[in-house]
Amino acid sequence: MIACVGEGLIALVPTSSGPLETRSTFERSLAGAEWNTALALVSAGMRAAVVSCVGDDAFGRFLLAQLDRHGVDASAVEIDDEAPTGLYIKELVEGDEPGAPAHSAMHYYRSGSAGSRLSPATLRTPGAARVLAEAALVHTTGITPALSESARAAQDALFADRGGRRISFDLNWRPKLWRGREGEARSLLGGYLGAADVAQCSTHDAEVVFGTGDPDRLREMFPGPRHLVVTRDDGATAFDGSERADAPAVPSDVVETVGAGDAFAAGFLAGVLSGLSLSGCLARANRLATRALGSTRDHVD
């Protein structure tokens, strides 16, 4: 089993592109990096669970129903009767050229959300304790420690007490969450990345946070993870120790790119736990990512 630890969100996505003030209809769907990864893992044939918190509200119940529908273990998701389920509204802007993928802007309403109240105590609940005990690997991202001090403490606890589990960490840089704390973020996220067993980042995020997106330079900076994966628009580079593999992106029809990185992470992790070669892990990751590129949802269906 792979346990994915982080905040689940409701995404409200307009049914057509254009400024939000002119949009009148929206579709509701599940979102949140770790939750997207959990759904993609199940679609890749892996067992996955989510460790998180949702509000005691309609949106929280919707998210739990979506986990159930996709076959994700939700037994470690706490119900918080004091805080709401977080959400964001996606704004779709048409591509620069006809047929080009849409650009997205995310407008978040998550301050004080149930997911931001994730804490070390969450990890000790019976459901979470069971899931973590069964997990061969725990997946989390750089979003979680930015949400609150308690969420950061929960992530610290995961890294400090691994219990024989491997840790997967995806950088997932979110500048708005770290505004005014960029220096702190660089040190903190670099520490998580360096301490993970499987570490992933995009060239764009790595350039912003660490000053370089070059895979070889990043491998020099972060020699600790057995697997280091660096994604870019035209493909990815992965390391297994000193071994390196490169793979181009799989040609596909791109509707919108949000969520593709989460699906890619799931495919790579599925490959690692299935014992695939490094090239095989990249191939599986690329195939799964293409499924997230074909819709405006953040997750594979």
Q: Which two tokens stand for residue 19?
A: 């400024």
- Residue 214 pLDDT > 60, yes or no? yes
Q: Indicate the range of 127-136, 244-253, 279-288 predicted with least confidence.
A: 244-253
Whole-model pTM: value is 0.92
Give strand pairing partners of 264. none
Give the pLDDT of residue 290.
Answer: 79
In percent, the amount of the chain with pLDDT more than 70 equals 90
262 catalytically annotated? yes
10 Å Cβ neighbour count for 183? 9
Phi and psi at residue 185, to the nearest 5°: -60, -45
pLDDT, mean of residues 232-239: 92
Flag whether pLDDT at 298 surpasses 60: no
The pLDDT tens digits for 59-104 are 999 999 999 999 999 999 999 999 999 999 988 876 555 555 567 7
For the segment 102-160, what is each residue's pLDDT rounded down to a tens digit?
Answer: 677 888 999 999 999 999 999 999 999 999 999 999 999 999 999 999 999 999 999 99
Catalytic residue among 80, 205, 262, 298: 262
Between CA 104 and CA 149 the distance in angstroms is: 29
CATH of domain 2-293: 3.40.1190.20
In the predicted model, what is the mean pLDDT of the chain? 91
Domain ranges of the chain: 2-293
Q: List, for residues 23-36, the tens digit of each pLDDT value.
A: 899 999 999 999 99
Long-range CB contacts (within 8 A, 24+) of 66-74? 66/29, 66/30, 66/39, 67/30, 67/35, 67/38, 67/39, 70/39, 70/42, 70/43, 71/42, 72/35, 72/38, 72/39, 72/42, 72/48, 73/1, 73/47, 73/48, 73/49, 73/131, 74/49, 74/50
| C-alpha–C-alpha distance, residues 155 and 145, integer Å | 7
